[in-house]
Amino acid sequence: MRSPGPPTRPPRRRRLLAAAAELFARWGFDKTSLDEVARAAGVSKGAIYLEFPNKDALFKAVVYRELAHYTRDWLQRFERDDDPFSFVRMFQHSIAAINANPFVKGLMTRDQRIYGSFLQRESELFAMAISLRAELFGRLQELGAMRDDIPAATLAYLISVIGHGLVAGAEAIPERQRVPFEDSLRALGLLLDRGLAPPRPRNRKAVRELLLAMVAQAQAALESHE
């Protein structure tokens, strides 16, 4: 028996994904050619088509890979944190992890430079980010860990656009008045900590456990996806 997932995960596929991730991150979807990817991965161009049906699929696989990385990053930041649970930390870690990953950041801000023409064709990826968040919030509400007088879907949407503003908006603000990313992140955390808190707080330890479990589960799902 083997761990679940498609038949085999040939190393060639990993090398292709790694090479593609690097090139896509640097040059973007449109300006990265499959010839370059093949060369960087040390295989022939034809080999790409033995692993992926087309360029879009390769790119999407890279994004899934990066989403898994992001989730793992988030999880690690969370676990390293001794605070049992608070929205401050949850969002600080989440948005810091988003900001650290160009693909996830680009996904959130619809960065034309990275996603290029892929943007017009694909919407599944964009939808996923929000529904994952909505699901998480719904669970937190059920658990009494988050205010429930606002629908989870609305909160998920709101947090998404706020995150968008935080990572994209920074560039829209004149340098002189910009606030260091960490400062704005902490301030947002403080804001949400109060803004999202339930009327009477629950067992924070249990919430932390649930949260970690959910994130780990999402990460596993993303990784199996490749």
Q: Is 177 in the site for a second copy (CB under 8 A)?
A: yes
For residues 62 and 53, what is the distance between their CA atoms, to the nearest angstrom? 14
Q: How far apart are CA 193 and CA 87, in angstroms?
A: 5
Matching residue, tokens 């879907």:
153
Residue 35 interacts with DNA (CB under 7 A)?
A: yes
Cα separation, 125 vs 174, in Å, equals: 31
Contact between 111 and DNA by CB under 7 A: the answer reads no
Pick from 16, 20, 21, 43 the residue near DNA by CB under 7 A: 43
Rounded Cα gap, residues 17 and 12, in angstroms: 9
Shortest Å, Cβ 223 to DNA = 23
Contact 133, 159 (CB under 8 A): yes
- Compute the least distance from the CB of residue 7 to a second copy, in Å: 32
10 close to 41: Cβ distance less than 8 angstroms: no
Q: Which two tokens stand for residue 224?
A: 């199996």
- Name which position in 14, 18, 40, 49 contacts DNA (CB under 7 A): 49
Our finding on whether 181 is near a second copy (CB under 8 A) is no
Q: Nearest approach, Cβ of 96 to a second copy (angstroms)?
A: 15
Binding site for DNA (CB under 7 A): 12, 31-35, 43-47, 49-50, 54-56
Binding site for a second copy (CB under 8 A): 108-110, 123, 126-127, 130-131, 149-150, 153-155, 157-158, 160-166, 168-170, 172-174, 176-179, 183-184, 187-188, 190-197
